Amino acid sequence: MLLHANLSGSGLENVTVKWNLSSDDGTGQDSVVGYFIYRGTTYDVDAVGYQPVATVPSGTIEYNDDMTGEGDPSNYFYQICAVDLNNLTNCSANQAGKFTRSLLNGPNLVSIPLIQSDNNIETVLQTLKWDKAWTYDSSAQKWKSHTLFKPYKGELEEMNTSMGIWVNVMQPSNLTVAGIVPTSTSIYLHAGWNLVGFPSFNVSYAVSDLKATVGVERIEGFEALTPPYFLRALTDGDVLQAGFGYWVKMLSDGSWTVVNS
């Protein structure tokens, strides 16, 4: 039912969630009288603990959640439920979300844990004060970059949930995005080093879980206090985090399915 979610407003301070009309809204049994919008601050696949924040009438296809976008440090997750004449509800199988991570000056290793309606890198990173982004394409075994101040900005034009991206931040700012929560993401890993994202809000997924899934030799994560590379080797007990990028060294080719649960 959910189509996409975007930051909106002049300062991107709002979150707008859009959905398809129910098959019984204006057609079919024509029994839908409205939609409930539920919101939580901690992701749950079944929306357990989410609270109703609004009710909108039938025929409505979007909801604007004011002042929950850029500037609000909390994460938010949304589920939409159609309600009929008998007060029965039919809820969307997927969820929308808004994610925020604060970044400091200098290089930061990031990823995007929500599916974007527009993957253009300048749109995805629109809330950041930055000048250059770069990533490693393990399939082509080459670096790709995007530099804002050059006439030809480079090969890195889009970013998606499977990618890890280095971005040079010019002043402290927030990486804030809105989009659809991916149910699962398949990331193909090549022998050698891979720069990947972690598109999941599972707060207990550890390095040991990844090692149990694929043949990982070494994993490195971002460490702001260790220049010039800003990396540290992760141990089995370290937990992977949404919105961060990771270097994963593989013994051989493999596939990693990242699940939101």
Q: For 136-173, how does the pLDDT look when each residue is reduced to its tens digit (9 = 90+)?
A: 999 999 999 999 999 999 999 999 999 999 999 999 99
Place of tokens 């969307």: 92
What pLDDT is recorded for position 183? 95
Structural domains of the chain ordered from first start = 2-94 (2.60.40.10), 100-259 (no CATH)
Q: Rounded to whole angstroms, how far apart are CA atoms 22 and 31?
A: 10
State phi, psi for 211 to the nearest 5 degrees. Answer: -65, -30
Among the listed residues 233, 196, 232, 230, the one whose alpha carbon sits nearest the alpha carbon of residue 213? 196
pLDDT digits (tens, 9 = 90+) for 212-239: 999 899 999 999 999 999 999 999 999 9
pLDDT tens for residues 68-121? 999 999 999 999 999 999 999 999 999 999 999 999 999 999 999 999 999 999
User: Is residue 1 scored above 80 in pLDDT?
Assistant: no
Three-state secondary structure readout of the chain: CEEEEEEECCCCCEEEEEECCCCCCCCCCCCEEEEEEEEECCCCCCCCCCEEEEEEECCCCEEEECCCCCCCCCCEEEEEEEEECCCCEEECCCCEEEEEEEECCEEEEECCCCECCCCEHHHHCCCCCEEEEEEEECCCCEEEEEECCCCCCCCCCECCCCECEEEEECCCEEEEEEEECCCEEEEEECCEEEEEECCCCCCCCEHHHHHHHCCEEEEEEECCCCCCCCEEECCCCCECCCCEEEEEEECCCEEEEEECC
- Res. 2 pLDDT band, cuts 50 70 90: confident
How confident is the model at residue 127, as a pLDDT? Answer: 98
pLDDT above 90 (res 240)? yes
Where residue 261 falls among pLDDT bands split at 50, 70, 90?
confident
Q: Is the pLDDT of residue 179 over 90?
A: yes
pLDDT in tens, 40-61: 999 999 999 999 999 999 999 9
pLDDT, position 102: 97
Q: What is the pTM of this model?
A: 0.95
Radius of gyration of the chain (CA): 20
